[in-house]
Structure 1
């Protein structure tokens, strides 16, 4: 098996673009793709599927982008490292990043550094526009992604 390129990052933005704020993950993946950064690729997908593990195995770092329902406790972007040990079933349906990372580890014996970038959301009704809360946090999520990308570049240089 080939080792992943030294500075590769895969962005996976997911959610339903027809459910208002839920489409923000895909929007961010498309934005990052438009930057045209070397060693960075992006996928905008409706949902996480087991087939994504093959793409992940070719990357040094994977950044998942999604939304979380705003409950009023927190209204900011959250960045969380992902650990495959949090998954209950590595070979089952990969419907969350932990399961998908565990599947990548089992099938390809590769565990890329993985993060979850979560954007607060409040509108999941049918529609294609974002709420003010989600709209104001998209640039913040992009800044967090840029910081994660620079960490990989710093690691590759050392």
Structure 2
């Protein structure tokens, strides 16, 4: 064998031996003074980072008993009446033509809502109206005029007709 080949073989043997020695050192655990062990991982091109020891969890010998309180039963249904009386229903419209006001007085691109409070008597007739929000330009008045023609099945309480107040919303867009 030539001296050049011999040097190459020796060099390779030394490199392989160094790598094997380094790899064996990676898997070794280093003992500290405490019971915990620290493993030093090997990452080529990076520095080794020591992993903190994981805490040991000690389970209690007797499981603690937790007293569970039974939930309170819900109160009996009252039919939606805040006073607690049963058999309450709201007024339902039975004749309700849609208001069609003239929107030509409004500027182009105007849109909005008209909100009206309506009082309905025991016979289902509209007895009072009040505009909470309006658009103006005669649109509110046209809506109120149509609402005066509406009729309702009256609200009931314990099976008897009663007066009620409802809030109605109408949306309009001027193209």
Q: Shorter-chain TM-score: what band?
A: under 0.3
Query: Highest relative contact order (Cα 8 Å, sep 6+), 1 or 2?
Result: 1
State TM-score, norm by structure 1: 0.24
State TM-score, norm by structure 2: 0.22
Higher helix share: 1
Higher strand share: 2
